[in-house]
Amino acid sequence: MAEPEPPSASTSDDDGATTTTGPEQLCPVCWTSFTRIGRQLYCTDKCRKTAWTRRRTPPALAPPVPPARPRRDVTIYACQTCGQRYHAQQWCPDCNQPCTRIGLGGPCPHCDEPVAIADLLDPQALP
């Protein structure tokens, strides 16, 4: 019977991946170049701890998005043929033609005619 070989100087935990130095790489936290030693992923303990904290913290909640509303209800349209303006109506009933959008607006509180916000603003004051 052959004699068993003496145990080697290295143990099973002491493999080449944990004891050798590797090529330079970038730290994924601070993006500095460092020489990798063993299984090292980060350049310093501070970067390692920062990465652990980032992995463990829950993501910030996004602000709630308001529900979508139809824009047609607050839009003023004008017929290109007869020039008549309409509030929330895209077709001219007299000409049976599609209207062009003037802009946001509503009925005038005094005369109840459709008025666009752009009509009320001074064009010289706009940037």
Is the whole model's pTM more than 0.75, yes or no? Answer: no
- Half-sphere exposure of residue 126: CA atoms within 13 angstroms, side-chain side: 7
Q: Quick one: DSSP state of residue 73? A: G
Highest mean pLDDT among 22-26, 58-62, 99-103: 99-103
Q: What is the mean pLDDT of the chain?
A: 84
Q: Give yes or no for residue 66 having a pLDDT over 70.
A: yes
User: Which residues, 6+ apart, have CB-to-CB distance to 51 below 8 Å?
Assistant: 28, 29, 41, 42
CA 75 to chain centre: 29
Position 115, amino acid: V
Could you tell me which of 40, 49, 116 has the C-alpha nearest to residue 76?
Answer: 116
Residue-wise pLDDT tens digits, 81-114: 999 999 999 999 999 999 999 999 999 989 999 9
CA-atom Rg of the chain in angstroms: 36
